[in-house]
Amino acid sequence: MAFQLKMNRSAKEKHSNLILALDLPPLEPSQLLSRSINLLEKVYPYICAVKINRHLVLPLGLSNGIQKIVGFAHDLGLPAIMDCKINDIGNTNRVIAELYYNAGFDAVIANPFVGWDEGLQPVFETAKKQHRGVILLVYMSHKGALEGYGQKIIESKDGKLTSQYLVFAEKALSWNADGAVVGATFPEKIEEIYAVLKERVPIYSPGVGAQGGNIGAAVVAGARYLIVGRSITLAEDPENTARSLRDIINECAKNSLED
């Protein structure tokens, strides 16, 4: 099944557009594995997917602990996204994508800065072959994103001055990406990028909670999925925190439709 269909089905079944970023503080590998499984057991009814990054991959290893977490997520009906921000030459990118897909991940996040030819083309080809997804990093959630994603550039096709992130949004369309990451900390950027993408490429927004992103502002601007990490993973009661965040997202989405 194609990745977008998996996400649509999961969101509908869970009545949730909340994605858990499984970002944990440094611990012993055995503790990381058990805590990850424990967290998923508690919050899975309230999330539609899980996102994993190098917080877990480096200490646990791809072929052992990570596969267990991904497999457990799948048993709970959750798609798994690898936040690897693929950003190298084409051959290396292809190998990276294959390794993560073979480990069970349903989608990878990739950086459009490296371009298409001998850059991300092999990743998209691998994803298509394996019926997996590619989500493009269009605008990050930290302040320094302005220095790269927010810079002004001259478009090669018409010589006009534009913003780098708008060019990346256009690439998400032309490359048939399965999603676009845009930080919830910048709702004005979400709105601009949504104007390009509409409903054709869903927006995934990290940065809620610890980084100060506002759920309501992100949803109104056009974010479909909200990615939350530390507010859940470090909470005293992650289950109720996830439930509350899911309910807030649903209420904001309902109000946005009514408006």
Q: Render pLDDT for 13-32 as a digit per residue (tens, 0 to 9).
A: 999 999 999 999 888 888 99
pLDDT for residue 137: 97
* pLDDT recorded at residue 209: 79
Which two structure tokens, joined as six digits, stand for 211? 């980084």
What pLDDT is stored for residue 258 in this prediction? 65
Domain ranges of the chain: 3-258
- Looking at residue 144, its pLDDT comes to 85
When the candidates are 3.30.450.20, 3.20.20.70, 2.60.130.10, 3.90.1200.10, the CATH number that belongs to 3-258 is 3.20.20.70
Structure tokens at 57: 């991959």
> Considering the chain, what percentage of its residues have pLDDT values greater than 70?
99
Tell me what pLDDT residue 224 has: 97
What's residue 79's pLDDT? 98
- For 83, residues 6+ apart whose C-beta sits below 8 A from its C-beta are 21, 51, 52, 53, 54, 109
Report the pLDDT value the prediction gives residue 156, as an integer from 0 to 100: 74
pLDDT tops 80 at residue 157: no
Of all residues in the chain, the percent with pLDDT exceeding 90 is 81
Q: Which residue matches tokens 């092999």?
A: 122
Reply yes or no on whether the pLDDT at 148 is more than 90: no
Active-site residue, selected from the candidate residues 14, 85, 128, 189: 85
Beta-strand (E) ranges in the chain?
18-21, 49-52, 80-86, 107-110, 133-139, 152-154, 161-163, 179-182, 203-206, 225-228
Give me the pLDDT at residue 63, please.
84
pLDDT at 150 > cutoff 90: no
pLDDT at res. 138: 96
How big is the chain by its Cα radius of gyration, in Å? 17
Mean pLDDT over each residue of the chain, to the nearest integer: 93
pLDDT interval class at 113 (50, 70, 90): very high
CA-to-CA distance for 252 and 195, rounded, in angstroms?
19
Residue 1's pLDDT is 67
Question: Is residue 85's pLDDT more than 90?
Answer: yes
Query: Phi, psi (5° rounding) for residue 137?
Result: -85, 100
Active site residue 171: no
pLDDT tens digit sequence for 208-239: 877 878 899 999 999 999 999 999 999 999 99
pLDDT at 126 over 70: yes
41-82 pLDDT, tens per residue?
999 999 999 999 998 999 999 988 999 999 999 999 999 999
pLDDT in tens, 191-200: 999 999 999 9
Assess whether pLDDT exceeds 70 at residue 132: yes
What angle do the packed helices 187-197 and 164-174 form, to 10 degrees? 40
